[in-house]
Amino acid sequence: MFGRVRIWSRQHVTLVDAALVAPVLLVCVVGVLSAADTGDPLPVSADLGFTLALLLPLVLRRRFPVGVFAAVAAVAAAQLALGLDLLLADAAVLAAMYTVAAHCRLGRALAALAVVELGVVVVIARSPHTTWRDESDWSALAFYTFLVLLCWVTGRYASVRRGYLAGLEERAESLERERDARAQAAVARERARIARELHDVVAHNVSVMVVQADGAAYAVADDPDLARGAMETVAETGRSALAELRGILGLLREDDHDGDYTPRPGVERLDHLVEQVRRAGLPVEFTVEGQTREVPAGVGLAVYRVVQEALTNTLKHAGPAVGGARVRLRYGADTVEVRVTDDGRGAASARAGDGDGGGDGSGHGLIGMRERVAACGGSVRAGPCAGGGYEVVAALPLRPGEPVDPGEPVRGS
């Protein structure tokens, strides 16, 4: 409620100032008329004229602070020049000075202060009782000077406070924009992560299913048992894909974190992955070197996806002459390295990614692989072997914050 009133008052400053000036003008006019009724010798018309001239400009004081101050100060100077006594409406000079101090730069505020202080000295000096020898004269000067300074300092305080509040509002808006940008970046990262997961699951399993289904179609007439085995592999691969998809989609449910979903695969599932590819018809040799170490879940998932993507690309793009693939998992002191090679067509095929890119490695599969490995602090390289075939090598740290490099480019198979 208060916030809306403040916003409205900022949008209608002239109307608000008019509402503030109206009762003051009424009191001053009544005071002038009362003084006339008691036999005051000053012409009522002159007092009323100066009262209106002093107070009416204040309606525009916040829109034109310097102009209003100049107008009010000029009217007050004319009043002094004519030898008229001070009126209650002369307080408008202090109000105009306060507005300049509150809404203008320090230089203009100091100039307004100097003008008003000069006016105070002139008012006291023109009094017939002022001799500057009596202590009361200096006391009067000190009192009026204090009153002027109080109004001026209050205006400067209002200016500083307004600037401080404006800075807070600007900072709040900046933080809000930054929060929105971070939220959008987080959404983009999450979408990229989900896209990688879906690509890895769908591309690999569908590739295996297609290969097995093709084999079953060719063997169904001549070797029904072989066709039946191929279709069983298709069914098992489909169930595995569904289980992984349920696990991925389960992570998106904010209200069901305790669901019974299949855990995300890691290095312990590489045997199952290799066996699945073997059943698809691609001979795969799998070896483990070094002392088995505990692998963080994120690193294990990245290793699994790298092997899955590399073997999927071999199935899809290595060509009919491929003799097989080799998967080597090597544990180091602080790193784990996985190397997948085959003896297929290598750079002659568009298989650097997932079939979407060319041989330069611009496919989405390799991009997702690099993003996944980089997120764990590792690095990956892929390219054709000098003697034919294709190789993918990824090295990942076993401890967070220790980036590693997979080594020199591939020179041979």
Candidates 313, 306, 390, 320; CA nearest to 354 is 313
DSSP tag of 410: P
99 vs 386, residue with greater confidence: 99
Residue type, 17: D
What percentage of the chain exceeds 90 in pLDDT? Answer: 23
Bigger pLDDT: 246 or 33?
33
Distance CA 188, CA 381 (A): 25
- Answering whether pTM is above 0.85, one says no
CA distance 187 to 280: 36
pLDDT in tens, 199-227: 766 666 777 777 778 777 877 777 888 77
pLDDT, tens only, 132-183: 667 777 888 899 899 999 999 999 999 999 888 888 888 988 888 898 888 8
382 pairs with which residues across the strands? 392
Q: What tokens does 135 get?
A: 């202590």
Mean pLDDT of the chain: 79
Q: Are 318 and 277 in contact (CB under 8 A)?
A: no
Domain boundaries along the sequence of the chain: 2-126, 266-413
CATH of domain 266-413: 3.30.565.10
